[in-house]
Structure 1
Amino acid sequence: MSRGLELRSVRVRYGPLEALHGVSLIAPSAGLTVLLGRNGSGRTTALRALAGTVPVSGGAVTWDGADITRLPAHERARRGLCFVPDRQAVFGSLTVRENLELAHARGDFAAALAAYPELRPLLARRAGTLSGGEQRMLALSRALLADARVVLVDEPAQGMSPAVASRTYDLLKDLGAGVVVAEQRLPSGLRGRAGRAVVVYELRRGEVVFAGEAAEVPAAGHTGSAG
C-alpha cells in the first residue's frame, strides 16, 4: 500500500477537551479510505486534521513521507488537496453555473454534468437555495473538477437518494486520487466490491478501534449516528 496522507499519533484539542487521543492512520495515495464513527467519535476531527483546518496539539501529519503538520490548509490545497466539509461546501450567493466554473481552470464543467445530470436544470439557481442533497451534488461536482491528488469529503452522500449515493461512491472510487471520506456507517455498496480494497478506520471517543478492509467490517454492531 503506497502511503499518501498519514496521521501519526495525532492529538487535537478543542479548548480543554482533547478530541483525538494519539490517532494513527494511513490513507493511500490512490483508492478509498473510510473513517467511521458516531457523534463525538473524532472522525470529522481526523478529516480536518488531514485537511489542516484544525491545529494539531501532538503527533504529526505527513504527505508522501513529508511532514506537513504546520502547513496551513490553503497551502495543502495549492499542493493538490481538496476538502469538502459537511456544511457550507458551496458558494451560496453564486449560481450553480458560477460554482462549477470556479472549480475548473478553464471553466469547463461538462464532466460535472455528466456525473450529476440532475444539476443541469439548476444551473441558473443560487446554490444557497438548493436542497441539501443538491448542494452535496454540487460540492462533489466541484471536487470532481478540481483534478486533485487528494480528496477529503465529510459525509459525501448526505441528503442524497440511495441511487445517487451509490453513483457518488462509484465516482469517488474511480477518481484515481487518494480519497478519504467520513461516514456514520459503511455504505453497503462498498462491501465485497471487486477491485481495489476499501480501507476502513473506525473511531470511538477519539481513538481508532478498528482498522482493516471494508469486507472485514461487521455487518452490524458498529457505529451509529454522526461525528
Structure 2
Amino acid sequence: MTTISLHHARVRYGPLEALHGITIAAPGPGLTILLGRNGSGRTTALRALAGTVPLSGGAVLWDGADVTRLPAYERARRGLCLVPERQAVFGSLTVRENLELAARSYDIALDAYPRLEPLLARRAGTLSGGEQRMLALSRALLARARVVLVDEPAQGMSPTVAARTYELLSELDSCVIVAEQRVPPGLHGRAALVYELCRGAVVFSGDSGEWARRAAHRTGSTPSG
C-alpha cells in the first residue's frame, strides 16, 4: 500500500500564493480526484506532489517519509509518474518510439487504446488532442508506477474513451490522483476519494458518494450511480 500527501502545503508564484496550506492524502491502490475550476490550485497540487514546483511551506509525505526536498527526477526514479495537461508526449518521435521509451513491449497499451495501433508510425505531434492523451496515458500504464498523477486525463476524448480511461485508471495497482474541472462521467459508480479545491483551499473532502449527495443537494437533483 502506498500513500502520498500534501501536509499544510503552500506554493507561491512570485507574490501570489496558489496553495494556502492545504492538506490532502491519497491512499493507494485507489483513485483520488482533485476537483476545481481553473485557478483553484488543482494543477499546482499535482505539480507539488511531483516536485516540479517547490513548496514555500508545509511538506510532501510519501509512505510517511518527508520527500519535500527530493527533486522531481528522484521521485520519478522511486516510482512517481506525472502526466501533465500539455506537452505530455514527445511530439518529434513516432507513437511507437514514445511507447518504447516506457517499455519494450507495449501490447498492454494497444489493448487499452486500439486506436493507437494504426498510428504507430505517425509523429506524436501530428495526433489530435484526444489521441495524444491516449498516448500519454498509455505511457503511464506501461510505467507501472507506484504513484500516477494525471492532469485532465480524458481531455479531448469521446465519452466512450473517457469512460474506458477511468476504468483503466481505477484498475491500476497504484496510488492514482487526477485533476479535473468536474466529476467525469466515467467516475459514476466507481469508488474514489474526492477533494474539491477553490482558490487554493480545500472546500470539500470525502468519498465520491458523499460528493454526489452534496452536489445533488446543491442542485436539487437526485444523485445517480
Aligned CA-pair RMSD: 1.2
In structure 1, distance between residues paired with 2:2 and 2:13: 28
In structure 2, distance between residues paired with 1:188 and 1:129: 28
TM-score by length of 1: 0.93
1:6-155 superposed matches below 5 A: 6-104=5-103, 107-155=104-152
In structure 2, distance between residues paired with 1:124 and 1:3: 37
**Cα deviations across residues 64-107 of structure 1 (Å, max 9, x unaligned)?**
00000010100000000000000000000000000000111xx1
In structure 2, distance between residues paired with 1:56 and 1:32: 24
| Equivalent position amino acid for 2:153 in 1 | P
Asked whether the equivalents of residues 8 and 60 of structure 1 are also in contact (C-alpha less than 8 Å), the reply is yes
How many aligned positions are there? 216
Asked whether the equivalents of residues 167 and 186 of structure 2 are also in contact (C-alpha less than 8 Å), the reply is no
Gaps spanning 5+ residues in structure 1: where?
Answer: 223-227
1:203-214 superposed matches below 5 A: 203-214=197-208
Identity of aligned residues (%): 75
Asked whether the equivalents of residues 2 and 174 of structure 2 are also in contact (C-alpha less than 8 Å), the reply is no
| Equivalent position amino acid for 2:149 in 1 | L
- TM-aligned CA deviation for residue 30 of structure 1: 1.1
Partner of 2:181: 184
Gaps spanning 5+ residues in structure 2: where?
Answer: 220-225
Partner of 1:160: 157
- TM-aligned CA deviation for residue 188 of structure 1: 3.0
Asked whether the equivalents of residues 3 and 26 of structure 1 are also in contact (C-alpha less than 8 Å), the reply is no
In structure 1, distance between residues paired with 2:189 and 2:210: 9
In structure 2, distance between residues paired with 1:125 and 1:188: 30
In structure 2, distance between residues paired with 1:216 and 1:189: 17
Partner of 2:196: 202
Does the residue aligned with 1:61 lie in a helix, a strand or coil? strand
Does the residue aligned with 1:4 lie in a helix, a strand or coil? strand
- TM-aligned CA deviation for residue 3 of structure 1: 5.8
Q: Does 1:175 align with 2:172?
A: yes
TM-score by length of 2: 0.93
- TM-aligned CA deviation for residue 20 of structure 1: 0.2
Asked whether the equivalents of residues 159 and 185 of structure 2 are also in contact (C-alpha less than 8 Å), the reply is no
- TM-aligned CA deviation for residue 189 of structure 1: 3.3
Does the residue aligned with 1:33 lie in a helix, a strand or coil? strand
In structure 1, distance between residues paired with 2:78 and 2:38: 31
| Equivalent position amino acid for 1:211 in 2 | S
**Cα deviations across residues 119-177 of structure 1 (Å, max 9, x unaligned)?**
00100000000000000000000000001001000000000000000000000000110
More helix by share: 2
Does the residue aligned with 1:12 lie in a helix, a strand or coil? strand
In structure 1, distance between residues paired with 2:150 and 2:107: 22
In structure 2, distance between residues paired with 1:96 and 1:175: 22
